[in-house]
Structure 1
């Protein structure tokens, strides 16, 4: 099959690849064909392995930085992001000590002591990539990118603010992302859930709060999202991924019954720690929104729009900033 002009792949192999990896395959090949190209936006986010909903790749587009917009002869799958004085980083796929990995280098890049270089690609800096995506895609779809970039120390709030200050563009969407981004979200699913909670108007939850079992202080549990309400209630929301029950790496090869039994023991301990309500949700409910919203309302999670005291910003340690 032909995923892009002058590119071919075995159809069976291609069908096994998730959308971000398909994009990375095309970009690697294109970088060999056109070494001077600088990939930007979602394409740069894919190379950086940032977290985001795979649906952003549904249109199959590849994004490059260019000094002007798309010309008439441009391939329909190629999009230009108009940038001047583009900040660039070089990304290399390398084999070092028999292990394959990806490394971000300054530009111009030096390749001394980094192993055998397999592929070389030029992309916009992580900060510029985040800003371009933040201006192009909805809040809940871009928040996982920001959380994962800050979690991996690829960018900082200060650097992103400085970049926005130098742009002739309305960076309001990026300011909103910076207000709420929190690297304590451990994966893209939690970030998506967190962003949806905010968009639905609920109070910003505390992330990764640790509860101690009163019956055994050595036993501690971290909860994904927690609200401490003004009337003394403690509400916990747990985001469950299917991997939690079926992936051997996540279950330590225990069967589903054992995993469920441990979850019940965890809930009992949380209730002993004065948690008054425990809610569970998953990716499907978050995407559909209505089931998640109904659960939060039923549990009495406060609405930020109704009580400004709950509208707050938290740093990576869960503290207000």
Structure 2
């Protein structure tokens, strides 16, 4: 499509500021932008916000959310971002599957139904406004209380991450839950199981699924002897020590653990696999049986239950 100077300047300025471009309203610029969306030259991730398709595709999902929020700050300087949007701005780890293009903001007024479907207002009698990276957001505690409405395993990842980052305390969250008039039960359940010892979001979601399937809560990052290098002990993601002396470990295996061989300074794929086999043999010699959990297992309760039952992990529900 023929170059449009005003559109080009608009996009260049937005990219420099790490945000989406803001279009006009029923003017020549608006129609020029819409034509380029129709031709797939541009994307429109939120009403009247734009980015070049090439630039947008180079961004992570978190970066895309920040670009949308950066533009909305200019359009709506009185908005305070809340819920999952605020969690993203704080950098709390969460599943990318939660992103559906919705922007969450705090609101003291009634929800009228006149907002665009990609805008979700969270009612609050008073908004505990903070600043994070120059962006107005609800406080970390209030953000976590609102994220309790997400599916349990996904919310657990956010709680683990926030506690691990020390952005909030258990007491902060409990206080907001008690005083905000929200449903306390999901918040208290999440606090019961939240553990800052979880190393990443994938491990947190997996632990949440294990709990949802009714299994005993595992210990995290338990260490075992490494006879080849006593100073570099083996750690397992999840561990159950049973009354009869058996020890069961579970590992959440993301493909990136094995597949990233692009860096020539890293060990080869074969060396990684050899290490894993040696590690598992050493664990077995310490009477530790290991079950490997993959993404497909975690997302399928029947598969996850079957694997853990076969491994001998006890059910408590």
TM tier, shorter chain? 0.7 to 0.9
1:297 paired to 2:309:
yes
Unpaired runs of 5+ residues, structure 1, are 93-119, 306-321
Query: What whole-Å deviation, never above 9, does each CA across 1:205-233 have from its counterpart, x for those lacking one?
Result: 11100101367644510111010011110
SS in 2 for 1:80: strand
1:292 deviates by 2.1
1:202 deviates by 0.5
Query: What whole-Å deviation, never above 9, does each CA across 1:257-310 have from its counterpart, x for those lacking one?
Result: 1100000111111122221x11111222111232222111011111122xxxxx
1:17 deviates by 2.8
CA distance in 2, matches of 1:279, 1:251: 30
1:249 deviates by 8.7
- Pairwise CA RMSD of aligned residues? 1.8
Alignment correspondent of 1:108: none
SS in 2 for 1:266: helix
User: Any conservation in 1 of the 2:177–2:184 contact (CA below 8 Å)?
Assistant: yes
SS in 2 for 1:237: strand
Indicate the larger mover: 66-75 or 196-205: 66-75
Query: What whole-Å deviation, never above 9, does each CA across 1:168-205 have from its counterpart, x for those lacking one?
Result: 23210010000000011100000011000100001111
1:251 deviates by 9.6
Q: Moved runs in structure 1, 4+ residues, more than 6 A? A: none
CA distance in 1, matches of 2:232, 2:44: 54
Alignment correspondent of 1:183: 196
User: Any conservation in 2 of the 1:204–1:304 contact (CA below 8 Å)?
Assistant: no
Residue number among 159, 165, 177 corresponding to 1:164 in the alignment: 177
Indicate the larger mover: 210-219 or 277-286: 210-219
Residue number among 141, 151, 155 corresponding to 1:142 in the alignment: 155
Residue number among 79, 88, 107 corresponding to 1:66 in the alignment: 107
1:79 paired to 2:120:
yes
CA distance in 2, matches of 1:63, 1:298: 42
Taking structure 1 as the reference length, the TM-score comes to: 0.81
CA distance in 2, matches of 1:38, 1:219: 46
SS in 1 for 2:120: strand
Alignment correspondent of 1:88: 129
SS in 1 for 2:299: helix
**TM-aligned CA distance change 1:257 to 1:215, over 3 Å:** closer
User: Any conservation in 2 of the 1:285–1:291 contact (CA below 8 Å)?
Assistant: yes
CA distance in 1, matches of 2:124, 2:279: 51
1:194 paired to 2:207:
yes
CA distance in 2, matches of 1:214, 1:14: 48
CA distance in 2, matches of 1:216, 1:257: 20
1:67 deviates by 0.8
Taking structure 2 as the reference length, the TM-score comes to: 0.82
Alignment correspondent of 1:266: 279
CA distance in 2, matches of 1:257, 1:216: 20
Unpaired runs of 5+ residues, structure 2, are 1-42
- Relative to its length, the structure with more helix (as a share) is 2
User: Any conservation in 2 of the 1:209–1:223 contact (CA below 8 Å)?
Assistant: yes
Which protein has the larger Cα radius of gyration, Structure 1 or Structure 2? 2
CA distance in 1, matches of 2:265, 2:236: 20
**TM-aligned CA distance change 1:249 to 1:128, over 3 Å:** farther
Number of equivalenced pairs: 275
User: Any conservation in 2 of the 1:69–1:81 contact (CA below 8 Å)?
Assistant: no
SS in 1 for 2:244: coil
